[in-house]
């Protein structure tokens, strides 16, 4: 996996993924979306939400079955603190990954960043 996009009215960027052992992807999207909701409810900043949701989905990859790999917040935070990130080489130096992303309105039509 290459990570996930993050977007808000004033920001668009990308979040690198995490290196884990791939066993089964079943339910990883559900885990990711549930983690997004977990971050939205208390009003977290938009850049924090995918940083929290990506490790949850990555940890789901390590277990077989849809429910077997639901990580706790503590497990996700441990991966965030000690895990190894993966960034698609095509995006590694892009403004989205380096934090230099421009707001969507600042881009010209058809321009890629």
Number of domains making up the chain: 1
Query: Are residues 4 and 87 in contact, defined by beta-carbon separation less than 8 angstroms?
Result: no
- Which of 3-7, 15-19, 61-65, 89-93 reaches the highest mean pLDDT? 61-65
Concatenated DSSP letters of 60-105: HTTSSSSSTT---HHHHHHHHHHPPEE--TTTTTSHHHHT-PPPGG
Which tens digit of pLDDT belongs to each residue from 54-76?
999 999 999 998 887 789 999 99
Q: What is the mean pLDDT of residues 77-90?
A: 84
Residue 2 located in a structural domain: no
Residue 10 located in a structural domain: no
pLDDT band at residue 12 using 50, 70 and 90 as cut-offs? low
Query: Are residues 101 and 113 in contact, defined by beta-carbon separation less than 8 angstroms?
Result: yes
Residues pairing with 4 in the sheet: 15
Residue 4 located in a structural domain: no
Residue 63 located in a structural domain: yes
Query: Are residues 55 and 62 in contact, defined by beta-carbon separation less than 8 angstroms?
Result: no
Domain enclosing residue 77, as ranges: 17-106
């Amino acid at each position: 996996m290459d990570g996930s996009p993050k977007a808000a009215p004033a920001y668009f960027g990308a979040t690198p993924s995490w290196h884990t052992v791939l066993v089964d992807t079943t339910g990883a999207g559900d885990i990711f979306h549930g983690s997004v909701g977990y971050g939205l409810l208390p009003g977290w900043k938009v850049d924090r939400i995918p940083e929290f949701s990506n490790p949850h989905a990555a940890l789901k990859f390590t277990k077989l079955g849809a429910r077997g790999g639901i990580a706790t917040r503590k497990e996700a935070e441990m991966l965030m603190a000690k895990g190894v990130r993966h960034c698609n080489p095509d995006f590694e130096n892009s403004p989205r990954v380096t934090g230099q992303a421009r707001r969507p309105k600042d881009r010209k039509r058809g321009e890629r960043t």
